[in-house]
Chains A and B, each alone.
Chain A
Amino acid sequence: MKPVLESDLHAYVDGVLSESARAEIEAWLSTHPEDAERLRAYSEQNAMFRSLYNPVLDELVPAALLAVRPNRWFRHAMAAAIFALGIGLGWVMRGPSITPQMVPLPLARQAATAHAVYSPEVRHPVEVTADQEDHLVKWLSKRLGTTLKAPKLLPLGFDLIGGRLLSGPQGPVAHFMYQDARGQRLTLYVTRQRGEPRDTAFRFSQEDRVAVFYWVDGNFGYALSGEISKDNLLQVADVVYKQLNP
C-alpha cells in the first residue's frame, strides 16, 4: 500500500476523494485510531462552520450592497479613453491636410488608448480568436505588409485570446490580446512607423492606469500595454522583444 499523505487525509475530510482512494484511507484509518479521531474532529469542524455561517445566506441582503455600481471615476476614465480614441481617429480622417502643429498621438498613448477601449470588452475583446491563430496572423501580416508573429507568452501565464485590426495614425494596426488565469489582460500594438527605419531602446510610459513599454524596430513600432506593475510588464516586454528578434 502506498504511503498515506497528510493532504489525502484532508481530501478525505472534505469528501473530494474518488471512491477507491476513499476506501484506501478508510482501511488505513482502521489501523490508525489516533488519526481517525483527528479526522473526526476535522469533519466536525466543517459541520460546525457550516451551521454557524450558512444562516447568513438566508439573511436579507442590505440595500447598500445591492446599490453598489461602477464608480464615477471609472466611468470618466472610460469616457476619456473613448474620447482620446475619437481624437486619434479625427487625425486620421484629416489626412494630408494635417497642420504642422498637430503631431500624431505618441505611440504609447495610441496603444494605451486601444488597450483601454478593447481590453474591458467582455463579449467581443477580439475580432479573431486564438483558435484561428494562423488565420489571424496571416490576415494582420497582410494588412501591415510584413510578416508578423504573435509572441507566445504562455510560459509567463498569458494566453493569446486573439486579435483585431485597428486604424491608427500611421495606417493599419495589429492588436493582439493576451489574458492570464485571473483575467488580467495585456495587449500588443504593432504599427508601421513613418520616416526612416530606426531602432530605439525600450521606453516606458504610464498612461493613466495603463502601463506601456514601447520600442521601434525598423519600420515598425511596438507597444505592450497592461494594467500591471512596471516590473511585471517589463518581464513580458522582454520576452516579446526576444521572440520577435530571435
Chain B
Amino acid sequence: MDRRSIIEHIPRLRRYARALVGDRYIADDLVQDTLERAWNKFYLWRPGSDLRAWLFTIMHNVFVNQARRRGYEIEQTVEEMPAVAVRGTQTLQLELQDVDRALRVLPAEQREVVLLVAVEELSYKEVSRALDVPIGTVMSRLSRARERMRHVLGGQTAVSLKVVK
C-alpha cells in the first residue's frame, strides 16, 4: 500500500464533492483541500482499513470547516434558489437538473448522508463513522432527506415539480 493509492480515489472524491456542493470549481477546491490534508495525515491512516472511507471522513471535515467559513454564501444560495418551474413536458436532462437543484434545498448534513448512501454506496455504518455521528442520526437524516426530496420533486418525477417554500 502506498500513497499513490490515494490518486485512484480522486474520481470518486470528485463525484461526491460535485454532488455535495453543486458547482464544479468549488467542488474541485474541496477535493484539493481534502487531498492536501490526506497527504499530510496519511500516516494516521490505518493500513488494511478502508482508504476510501477514510478519505470521505477527511472530506467531511474539510467540508464542514469550509461551510462554516462560507456558511453565509451557502445559505444565500439556498434562499435565492430560483423557483422550479412548473412544466408540462421535459427532457430527462432537465429533470435531472431539477433533482440537482432540489438537492440544494436540503440542509448540508442531510445532503451528505443521502449522497454517501445513494451515490457512494457506503454502508450506514460507514456513513456513521465518516460523519462521526451515531447510526440513529444517519438513519433519521436519511429519512428526512428522502422525504424532503420527495416533496420537493412532487412525489413523483414524471409530474410537474412543485415549488416548496
Residues of A whose CB lies within 8 Å of any CB of B are 6-7, 10-11, 13-14, 16, 37-38, 41-42, 44-46, 48-54, 56-57, 59, 61-62, 64-66, 68-71, 74, 119-123, 179, 181-185, 227
Contacts and interface: CB of A to CB of B under 8 A. Distances in A.
Interface of B: 1, 7, 10-12, 14-16, 18-19, 28, 31-32, 35-36, 39-40, 42-47, 49, 54, 57, 92, 95-96, 99-100, 103, 114-115, 117-119, 121, 123-124, 129, 139, 142-143, 146-147, 149-150, 153, 155-157
B104 to A, nearest CB: 12
B43 A61 contact: no
Which DSSP category, helix, strand, loop or mixed, fits chain A's interface? helix
Which DSSP category, helix, strand, loop or mixed, fits chain B's interface? helix
A7 B139 contact: yes
A56 B118 contact: no
Nearest to A66: B7
Contacts of A38: 147, 150
A186 B49 CA distance: 18
Contact of B12 (A57, A68, A121): A57
Contact of A70 (B16, B40, B95): B40
A181 B118 CA distance: 24
Contact of B46 (A7, A16, A49, A183): A183
A31 B19 CA distance: 35
Contacts of B46: 179, 183
A42 B146 contact: yes
A10 B143 contact: yes
Contact of B139 (A6, A68, A70): A6
Given A65-B31, A183-B54, A45 B150 contact: yes
Contacts of A121: 43
Given A45-B99, A122-B1, A56 B40 contact: no
Contact of A53 (B15, B28, B117): B15
Nearest to A40: B156
A41 B45 CA distance: 38
Contact of B40 (A37, A41, A71, A179): A71
A68 to B, nearest CB: 4
Contacts of B11: 56-57, 59, 61
